[in-house]
A and B are shown apart, each in its own frame.
Chain A
Amino acid sequence: MAKPSSDQFSRRAFLKGSSAVAAASAVVTSAAAQEKSAQSSQVIAGETTVSLNVNGKSMTAKVEPRTTLLDVLRYQFNLTGAKPVSSDGSSGASTVLIDNRPVEAAVTLALSAVGKNIQTVESLAGDAVPKAFMQYDASQCGFCTPGFVVAVRAFLNRNPNATEEQIRAGLNGNICRCGTYANILQAAISIAKGGQNG
Chain B
Amino acid sequence: MKNFEYAYAKTEAEAIQLLSVANKSTAVLAGGTDLVALMQSMVVAPDRVVNVGDIETMQHIKRDENNNLWIGAAVHLDELLTSPVVDPFPSIKQVIQGISSVQMQSQGTVAGELLRRPCCWYFRGGNGLLANEGRMVIEGDNRYHAILGNRGPAKFVSASRLAPAMISLGAKVRIIGPKPEQEQIVDIENLFCTPEKTDETEIALAAGQLVTHIILPPDQGRLSAAYEVRHGEGPDQPLMAAAVRFEVLSGLVTESKIVLGQVAPTPWIAREAAMALLGRPINEETAAMAGMKAVSGAIALSGNEYKIELAKVAVKRAILRAAGLETGCFESSTCETAAVNFA
Contacts and interface: CB of A to CB of B under 8 A. Distances in A.
Contact of B40 (A44, A107, A158): A107
Nearest to A107: B36
A26 B178 contact: yes
B138 interface: no
Contact of B33 (A87, A89, A101, A168): A89
A89 B103 contact: yes
B190 to A, nearest CB: 5
A193 interface: no
A8 B29 CA distance: 26
B33 A107 contact: yes
A49 interface: no
A151 B103 contact: yes
Interface in B289-318: none
Contact of A89 (B37, B102, B182, B204): B37
A68 B204 CA distance: 29
Contact of B340 (A101, A109, A169): A169
Interface in A45-65: 45-46, 64-65
B327 interface: no
Interface in A148-162: 151, 154-155, 158-159, 161-162
A2 interface: no
Contacts, number: 193
B22 A30 contact: yes
A29 B20 contact: yes
A19 B21 contact: no
Given A33-B21, A43-B7, A172-B233, A103 B103 contact: yes
A52 to B, nearest CB: 15
A76 interface: no
B6 A111 contact: yes
Contacts of B200: 12
Contact of A101 (B20, B76, B206, B336): B76
Contacts of A109: 6, 29, 32, 36, 49, 51
A15 B205 contact: yes
A163 B339 CA distance: 9
A135 B179 CA distance: 59
B175 A166 contact: no
B327 to A, nearest CB: 15
Contacts of B102: 102, 151, 154-155, 158, 170-171, 173
B234 to A, nearest CB: 6
A101 B32 contact: no
A5 B151 CA distance: 13
A168 B179 contact: no
B235 interface: yes
A25 B233 CA distance: 52
A78 interface: no
A40 B5 CA distance: 15
Contacts of B180: 29
Contacts of B8: 42, 44, 111-112
A190 B18 CA distance: 49
A140 to B, nearest CB: 19
B57 interface: no
B53 interface: yes
9 contacts: A15-B175, A27-B22, A43-B7, A44-B6, A45-B5, A45-B6, A107-B40, A111-B8, A173-B235
